[in-house]
């Protein structure tokens, strides 16, 4: 059982600091692609932060550097004050494609993500995750027997099985139909509230960002950069048809230059 003094320290985990981080890639002809100009971002422990912006503005690049899969050209990144120098189980990852092994059952797909330190508790940990994502009864199913939403739940369980301090989600719901997507948004919020894991969530769906986030990082491209950070002060659960929801959505579209000054009106 977690003692009160322990729970406070658990909650303090998951602070992400991105300090003047840039990334330059080379294209095929040796030219420089400025994927990110120096970016600085602080994410508080347990915060839910979304990244939105046009294709190519560096969202995945930023997430990959936080994951440790990629290194910055300049600048530094930290998790709870420790510099990020490579991948680590404390930073969980989830992508648009669930990337499950087709020849393994749900249970084994989740267990395969377990860090060696936890292998002695394998069964217990895997069972807990299956319950958390609502896949009880499907432990022995193979990926081809799952719906898209169920496959993403399994991927979420695999990303969470090591109790990461931060979960990095790159368009995890992007391939789902609209209804499943809204269901999965609820699931994600439930899991986030249950775990207090810091969430960094990339999405192209502005409504999704407004529905889920504490703050929305709006990015711009060429070069990739942070244009504005928008706090979302609405409580939860949020009503998608509330005027405040609509106002915030409009604000983000304006920052992204998607609102026309003289829109053509509708005649009702
Ligand atoms: N490995 C790579 N080599 C060369 N260029 C790259 C590489 N990865 C990304 N880029 C370039 O860096 C820029 C940012 O790419 P990134 O994938 O981060 O964008 P994104 O915001 O995630 O876009 P999308 O919304 O389409 O996923 C793009 O111009 C892309 O072409
Ligand atoms: Mg991307």
Residue 174, SS3 per DSSP: coil
Listed ranges 24-28, 211-215, 221-225; the one with the highest mean pLDDT: 211-215
Q: Give residue 267's pLDDT.
A: 63
Give me the numbers of helices (H) and strands (E) for the chain, helices first please: 8, 10
Confidence of residue 12 (pLDDT cuts 50, 70, 90): confident
Cα–ligand 2 centroid distance for 250 (angstroms): 23
Ligand 1 neighbours by CB, cut-off 6 Å: 25, 33, 35, 55-61, 224
For ligand 1, pick from 29, 58, 175 the residue to mutate: most ligand atoms within 8 Å of CB.
58
Residues 6+ apart with CB under 8 A from 56: 221, 222, 224
Neighbours of 123 (CB within 10 A): 10
Confidence of residue 119 (pLDDT cuts 50, 70, 90): confident
Mean pLDDT of 89-102: 93
Confidence of residue 234 (pLDDT cuts 50, 70, 90): very high
Cα–ligand 1 centroid distance for 65 (angstroms): 12
Task: Looking at the structure, tell me whether residues 114 and 228 fall in a common domain.
Answer: no
Task: Looking at the structure, tell me whether residues 184 and 53 fall in a common domain.
Answer: yes
Mean pLDDT of 172-200: 93
Helices 148-160 + 122-132 axis angle, to 10: 140
Q: Which helix (H) or strand (E) holds 115?
A: none
Q: Which residue has the tokens 């807990």?
A: 128
- Whether 208 maps to a domain, the answer reads yes
Q: Which of 78, 102, 105 is nearest to 90 (CA)?
A: 78
Measured by CA distance, the residue closest to atom 1 of ligand 1 is 25
pLDDT at 7 over 80: no
Q: State which residues form the domain around 41.
A: 13-59+72-90+165-242
Distance CA 247, CA 252 (A): 9
pLDDT at 93 over 50: yes
Mean pLDDT of 225-235: 97
- Whether 27 maps to a domain, the answer reads yes
Given 111, 140, 163, the domain boundary residue is 163
Mean pLDDT of 232-257: 95
pLDDT at 4 over 90: no
**DSSP code string of 133-146:** TT-TT-TT--GGGS
Task: Looking at the structure, tell me whether residues 238 and 171 fall in a common domain.
Answer: yes
Q: Which of 115, 23, 105, 5 is nearest to 60 (CA)?
A: 23
Q: Where are the alpha helices (DSSP H) in the chain?
A: 4-11, 59-67, 106-111, 122-132, 148-160, 178-195, 206-212, 243-255
Q: Which of 58, 68, 67 is nearest to 33 (CA)?
A: 58
Confidence of residue 215 (pLDDT cuts 50, 70, 90): very high
Task: Looking at the structure, tell me whether residues 83 and 216 fall in a common domain.
Answer: yes
Q: Give residue 268's pLDDT.
A: 58
pLDDT at 262 over 80: no
Task: Looking at the structure, tell me whether residues 199 and 209 fall in a common domain.
Answer: yes
Task: Looking at the structure, tell me whether residues 84 and 176 fall in a common domain.
Answer: yes
Residue 196, SS3 per DSSP: coil
pLDDT at 3 over 50: no
Largest CA distance in the chain: 67
Task: Looking at the structure, tell me whether residues 39 and 157 fall in a common domain.
Answer: no
Domains: count for the chain: 2
Distance CA 134, CA 32 (A): 46
Listed ranges 82-86, 95-99, 157-161; the one with the highest mean pLDDT: 82-86
């Amino acid at each position: 059982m977690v003692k009160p003094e322990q729970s406070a320290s658990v909650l303090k985990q998951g602070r992400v600091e991105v300090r003047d981080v840039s990334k330059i890639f080379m294209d095929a002809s040796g030219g420089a692609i400025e994927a990110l100009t120096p970016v600085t971002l602080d994410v508080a422990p347990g915060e839910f932060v979304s990244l939105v912006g046009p294709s190519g503005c560096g969202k995945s690049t930023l997430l990959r550097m936080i994951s440790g899969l990629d290194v910055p050209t300049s600048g530094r990144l930290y998790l709870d004050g420790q510099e990020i120098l490579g991948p680590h189980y404390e930073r969980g990852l989830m992508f648009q494609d669930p990337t499950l092994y087709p020849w393994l059952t749900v249970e084994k797909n989740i267990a395969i993500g377990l860090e060696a330190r936890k292998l002695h508790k394998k069964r217990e940990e895997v069972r807990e995750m299956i319950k958390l994502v609502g896949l009880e009864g499907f432990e022995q199913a193979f990926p081809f027997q799952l719906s898209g939403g169920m496959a993403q739940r399994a991927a979420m369980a695999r990303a969470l099985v090591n109790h990461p301090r931060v979960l990095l989600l790159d368009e995890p719901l992007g391939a789902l139909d609209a209804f499943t997507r809204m269901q999965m948004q609820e699931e994600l919020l439930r899991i986030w509230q249950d775990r207090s894991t810091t969430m960094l969530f990339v999405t192209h769906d502005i409504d999704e960002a407004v529905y889920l986030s504490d703050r929305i990082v709006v990015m711009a491209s060429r070069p990739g950069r942070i244009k504005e950070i928008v706090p979302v002060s609405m409580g939860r659960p949020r009503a998608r048809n509330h005027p405040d929801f609509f106002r915030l959505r409009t604000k983000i579209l304006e920052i992204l230059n998607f609102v026309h000054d003289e829109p053509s009106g509708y005649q009702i």
